[in-house]
Structure 1
């Protein structure tokens, strides 16, 4: 899949593997990291990525995974598998610690079942075989030694040894004190030599003490003698120790035989620890480089958003003076090959290596340091030509090595191949290297390959500009400050800035002038044009950014204007409607007044004085009505009160519904919390009207009467048997709302048993109803699960 083999080193993937290996806790985990290879199956890659992502979330947001003691179980299991072999005390102790860790890990994920779905796939339903731990704990203590009471015989032997050692020590003390009194002893006290209790005697006195000489000091001045008085006691201790060792071996053999049937399970435990250690190391590395999981595509294409080369990013974290500039690049069906040009040391090679390294990492199940919106597809092959591969053994020059790779690329590349070529066509005479490179590029394009290619050749830039499927791109360069910006710009070729860089370095002017003459007017004009284009492009880009910012501000202003206009229109319609209603009422009152006036005039038989007085009253009343009519059609007469007129405790009427209630609280966002009996509601200030004192008294009285009447005639039971689900839920909702409003504690719902469908829908609805705290079945004797009690709280 990868050609040549050293491409993983050239792209930096080997260094990534080494960094991940350093995160592993076990040798088995490190071996798995060493074997990481890019995969080509979508399901497999997706699973590896999601496992790493889940472990990353676990490390960042959950309690630590219990991985205190991880030892290799596989070699212990393989040793125990052999008939007649047995594990040592130390090996059983390591196995015990590893089993405790495995069981703690399994319990950890069992407690979080479903939370880490892809990590749970690693367990393959492994059981916790507690008998293994119990069996080992009965023999091995917490210091890794066989327990003194592991068997009755072992306990008896330990007691005999202690007693014999005590007797020998007591006898030896007597001999030693006697030798000291005679001045025969050297400096020091009773010691052990070759497992025997001895006393230090001066060399000139060693014949004066009967016994066996076991050792001498380095100077030969001291002899370590086992006195004959304790000889038989030491022999007894030695015999007892041999017997104890035989009993310990018998216990270890017996314990090994006991765990031998569980060897396959132990091997599975080993695999689990290795896999978890492996995924954990990948997740820790992902945290170090602030990596995310990109969108995985099945197609051979990619779109990197704010991608950062992981190795450069790690270096930048240690040295803040060299920040990593994010890379944005896209390769798809339309733009299959990106031809990157620009100045030396401008970031072309880093751009190409970032694409290649990201592709290797993702297809190996590793997260990458880029935005989550990035998408990366799957390539069957990755071909790379990077650096100098000249070979003395193969008699290949640098250019010959490049041509050998181009031959391989042209022969075996296809639509699902990612081709990465650095400094395409270099290594020979540009007059010939350029056309050959162009011909190779043409062949690769015919094969529909994808790739990133860096070059300085102008003919390749022109070819890319006129060829479908190939996209020019350039690394931006600040030609004012003469320094690279390391930003990739798609859509145009870049200049090499050879003369500008040479001038900055300080190359003499006469040399530069001579070079410009020699390079030819046409080439010089092309390079100058590229420089001018880049400068103009930069200015256009800055202008576009400013225009986009202004357009965004205008859109925001437009949205605010539309919102305000809509609000004004709504208020206007409401004000006019109320004004018309008031005007209509005023006119009706005026008509009645006129009719009454005419009736009064008739009643006084058109008496002149009486008629004049009646007309005066009529005109006065009509003037009042005209003033009221004028004010009713004026927007200023709106009954809506301003925010400052309302206070907690005021009574208001909700304009939409006509409901009346008391203000309990005024929130920061100009909303009101209003009490409507036992019910609370939140509403905007501009949707209420403040009640006058008389209206307030009436409203309080009405609400009290309403609450009393509601409680009196409320029946806390609803029967929906035989009803359609929609009708039943509607009926239950009406009764529930009324129960909440009057503060009733519970509601009995009779729905019947049947197939249980209606009961299930009703209970699903009750779970979503905010005021229902719980619900339960009726007693079995009184209807059971055919009746549901809903408790309101």
Structure 2
């Protein structure tokens, strides 16, 4: 149960619904967003959330998800259930485009079914029937026109029409030539079409000089349009052939409709699938926009633990103002089911309450709530809200009376599976009585085991919450030094209203404030002072704790770094000692040889004094050298280790400086916008050039000896060195051949009938860009007549596009207002 009926408007879900509708690609998805409803079935909610979560991943990670051709053709298909009905050419064209989209969706889901099982489940049993697409292709061309070979009879009729039209054109030109020679018409007069008839414009004064039927006249009446009598019969025959052509086309369409009628149930089911995908995609895009995540869901327990919760509509509003939203951490569990929030006015109490209500409602409608992924959310059977001024003149209700009516409904229907949201609890009447009634209601709600978020200014409710199990106080923090709210929620203690401080900041006289303080009494002032002191001390110690935590973290990182360096130094020390030991062993081996040689000399000289003395001196000298080597080994190791430390410190300093400089250069490069004179590269190609002029959407760049127009978002700035390197590496003959090949494949006509406005703008912009780049001076855009909306969109775009010399309607016999001809300045 959701109470009241205006719940969605009160918490802001109506705006979330509007944003989702704006993200849909077709009316099928839009209708599903309008129809989305709150549900209490856990399995349904889990399935919806998993689908949205998977689609969010698809939108972020998969590049080839099809988004074109989402067209709702179901009204036309439903009318085919009646015999004798058929699809016209435009509906047939839309059916083909949308079936191609369904085919692409099914192929995409088949490829990724293992990664996204919930989305893959939606495609089970969906068929698009290739036969239907093949049959449509045999009837209409890519522009949606009936093909000449759709039937043998149609081919014959059209051959006859073209033959007679050629005869009419030839005869009219002959009559026009004689009329010019006779001075009946102007020398520059040309045949035109009125009511499907080829006519000649004649001055009103000469209308009796040319025999024929008058079909129309100009707005001024100075010119009349006459069908020469010589071609009347031919035009009648053409008109009869056109009627015959139309009858044959209807016959073809009826035959096609009869062929596909057995497939209608499956086709309608396929369009339901397309609408469901569009709906889920819209929810996923909303989640991406507001950083929504799939929380930890539970169907067994009811409760809420929102981490970094944000109200999406408030977040959107602050983003437009260049501000950031302050996230909230809110927890309701079996031990503390009701959170009583107090604090200053405009401090964020109501926003906190609305955030809880909106995110829970979004979850149970299948939207991803705007919280971190490690948030925990249960399922509620009922959600009640009492917020705002509900006074009614018609029902003779005051604000307080309306609040009491809401309280009656909440008390009657709430249980342990209910979530209640009450703003400014107890206000609207005399404080003593209002506070007492509110305290009694709060006691009753606690006894029922109801979950809830309640805001208040009443001190008796704060005291009641502090001494009652199941209810916990919460405070919206306030900066007492700057006299402004911090919009942060702190759970566990009540908040002060800061009424005197706010009044003093606004500028009320000090005498008035002193008198008010005397009237309110010392107990209230003392209580408020204690609350402020607790709040101030808590913020101080929180800052201290954060700074200590940061210092400890830095110390741990430094300790880890030093430990690593010591391990490396110890390794090098062992290597140096091993080398020194090896060197000492080699020296000792040499000394032993010399000693043995000396002993041998002494023996051979029969121990002569001079020889013995000399040998002893050499032994003493070697002994001294070996001893000195042993003493110097440790000092040598220490010196080498010190040099290694100094070298590592210099390398780290240079690396940090280099990283800082590179980061600064990268930031400067990213922040500087592209300007005229910059060297740029077109993304996705090897085209490079110099910017001549630039605006928000397009830029003119010089590429070789040619100037072309490119979308600004496709340009990437390159340095002069990169520009020269690319220019050297770029094989000019291959580039020229590519341009030549593109000119051969370029089509100067485009058909945008059935496109959405965004699709039409994109297609026309691409056509104009390619035509300017390849040097074509004229293009044609087929948009049809209809209500003229698509025509207006195209022409609004052409007015603001550089490089356009002229645009206007095609000649009447070639399509008239249904085609826009564009001449380019190349």
Q: Does 1:537 align with 2:544?
A: no
Paired with 1:438 and 1:453, the residues of 2 have a C-alpha distance of 12
Number of residues of Structure 1 aligned to a counterpart in Structure 2: 647
Paired with 1:110 and 1:60, the residues of 2 have a C-alpha distance of 18
Q: Identify which range, 179-188 or 419-428, moves more after superposition.
A: 179-188
What SS is found at the alignment partner of 1:113? Answer: coil
2:35 aligned partner: 35
1:133 aligned partner: 133
2:316 aligned partner: 314
1:726-764 per-residue CA deviation (whole Å, 9 max, x = no partner) reads xxxxxxxxxxxxxxxxxxxxxxxxxxxxxxxxxxxxxxx
Paired with 1:479 and 1:198, the residues of 2 have a C-alpha distance of 86
1:3 aligned partner: 3
Q: Does 1:303 align with 2:323?
A: no
Residues 81-480 of structure 1 mapped to structure 2, 5 A cutoff: 81-185=81-185, 188-298=189-299, 299-320=301-322, 322-480=323-481
Deviation at 1:204, TM superposition (A): 4.5
1:89-139 per-residue CA deviation (whole Å, 9 max, x = no partner) reads 111011111111111222222222312222212212423421111100100
Paired with 1:356 and 1:82, the residues of 2 have a C-alpha distance of 47
What SS is found at the alignment partner of 2:107? Answer: helix
1:23 aligned partner: 23
Deviation at 1:561, TM superposition (A): 9.3
- The verdict on how the C-alpha distance between 1:225 and 1:551 changes in structure 2, with shifts beyond 3 A counting, is closer
Q: Identify which range, 309-318 or 173-182, moves more after superposition.
A: 173-182
Residues 109, 123 of structure 2: 8 Å contact kept = no
1:763 aligned partner: none
Q: Identify which range, 18-27 or 554-563, moves more after superposition.
A: 554-563
Deviation at 1:560, TM superposition (A): 8.1
- The verdict on how the C-alpha distance between 1:407 and 1:573 changes in structure 2, with shifts beyond 3 A counting, is farther
Deviation at 1:277, TM superposition (A): 1.2
Paired with 1:564 and 1:42, the residues of 2 have a C-alpha distance of 55
Deviation at 1:426, TM superposition (A): 0.3
2:56 aligned partner: 56
2:485 aligned partner: 484
Deviation at 1:53, TM superposition (A): 2.1
Deviation at 1:38, TM superposition (A): 2.4
Q: Identify which range, 434-443 or 158-167, moves more after superposition.
A: 158-167
What SS is found at the alignment partner of 2:80? Answer: helix
1:73 aligned partner: 73
Deviation at 1:570, TM superposition (A): 12
Paired with 2:158 and 2:117, the residues of 1 have a C-alpha distance of 52
What SS is found at the alignment partner of 2:389? Answer: coil
- The verdict on how the C-alpha distance between 1:192 and 1:565 changes in structure 2, with shifts beyond 3 A counting, is closer
Paired with 1:146 and 1:525, the residues of 2 have a C-alpha distance of 88
- The verdict on how the C-alpha distance between 1:539 and 1:192 changes in structure 2, with shifts beyond 3 A counting, is closer
1:193-239 per-residue CA deviation (whole Å, 9 max, x = no partner) reads 33223333444544444433333444444443333322222222122
Residues 343, 496 of structure 2: 8 Å contact kept = yes
Residues 342, 348 of structure 1: 8 Å contact kept = yes
Residues 73, 269 of structure 1: 8 Å contact kept = no
Paired with 1:568 and 1:214, the residues of 2 have a C-alpha distance of 104
Paired with 1:545 and 1:183, the residues of 2 have a C-alpha distance of 99
- The verdict on how the C-alpha distance between 1:334 and 1:564 changes in structure 2, with shifts beyond 3 A counting, is farther
What SS is found at the alignment partner of 1:324? Answer: coil
Residues 423, 454 of structure 1: 8 Å contact kept = yes
Residues 73, 267 of structure 1: 8 Å contact kept = no
Deviation at 1:76, TM superposition (A): 2.1
- The verdict on how the C-alpha distance between 1:472 and 1:228 changes in structure 2, with shifts beyond 3 A counting, is same
Decide which structure has the larger Cα Rg and report it: 1
1:599 aligned partner: none
- The verdict on how the C-alpha distance between 1:139 and 1:573 changes in structure 2, with shifts beyond 3 A counting, is closer
Paired with 2:522 and 2:143, the residues of 1 have a C-alpha distance of 86
Residues 17, 33 of structure 2: 8 Å contact kept = yes
1:614-670 per-residue CA deviation (whole Å, 9 max, x = no partner) reads xxxxxxxx99999999999xxx99xx9x999xxxxxxxxxxxxxxxxxxxxxxxxxx
Residues 128, 270 of structure 2: 8 Å contact kept = no
1:584 aligned partner: none
Residues 324-723 of structure 1 mapped to structure 2, 5 A cutoff: 324-552=325-553
Paired with 2:454 and 2:164, the residues of 1 have a C-alpha distance of 85
Paired with 1:389 and 1:302, the residues of 2 have a C-alpha distance of 28
Q: Identify which range, 4-13 or 235-244, moves more after superposition.
A: 235-244
Residues 126, 273 of structure 2: 8 Å contact kept = no
Residues 47, 118 of structure 1: 8 Å contact kept = yes
Paired with 1:38 and 1:195, the residues of 2 have a C-alpha distance of 57
- The verdict on how the C-alpha distance between 1:560 and 1:93 changes in structure 2, with shifts beyond 3 A counting, is closer
- The verdict on how the C-alpha distance between 1:444 and 1:169 changes in structure 2, with shifts beyond 3 A counting, is same
TM-score by length of 2: 0.68
Paired with 1:171 and 1:567, the residues of 2 have a C-alpha distance of 101
Paired with 1:169 and 1:624, the residues of 2 have a C-alpha distance of 122
Deviation at 1:175, TM superposition (A): 2.9
Deviation at 1:191, TM superposition (A): 2.8
1:607 aligned partner: none
Paired with 2:381 and 2:449, the residues of 1 have a C-alpha distance of 14
1:480-509 per-residue CA deviation (whole Å, 9 max, x = no partner) reads 111111111111101101111111111111
Deviation at 1:431, TM superposition (A): 1.0
- The verdict on how the C-alpha distance between 1:573 and 1:464 changes in structure 2, with shifts beyond 3 A counting, is farther
Paired with 1:62 and 1:11, the residues of 2 have a C-alpha distance of 34
Paired with 1:18 and 1:538, the residues of 2 have a C-alpha distance of 40
Paired with 1:563 and 1:235, the residues of 2 have a C-alpha distance of 99
- The verdict on how the C-alpha distance between 1:175 and 1:493 changes in structure 2, with shifts beyond 3 A counting, is same
Deviation at 1:308, TM superposition (A): 2.0
Paired with 2:514 and 2:572, the residues of 1 have a C-alpha distance of 77
Paired with 2:119 and 2:240, the residues of 1 have a C-alpha distance of 55
RMSD of equivalent CA atoms: 4.2
- The verdict on how the C-alpha distance between 1:214 and 1:565 changes in structure 2, with shifts beyond 3 A counting, is closer
1:506-534 per-residue CA deviation (whole Å, 9 max, x = no partner) reads 11111011101111222222222212222
Paired with 2:195 and 2:574, the residues of 1 have a C-alpha distance of 111
What SS is found at the alignment partner of 2:490? Answer: strand
1:762 aligned partner: none
Paired with 1:624 and 1:221, the residues of 2 have a C-alpha distance of 129
Residues 20, 33 of structure 1: 8 Å contact kept = yes
Residues 79, 87 of structure 1: 8 Å contact kept = no
Deviation at 1:292, TM superposition (A): 2.2
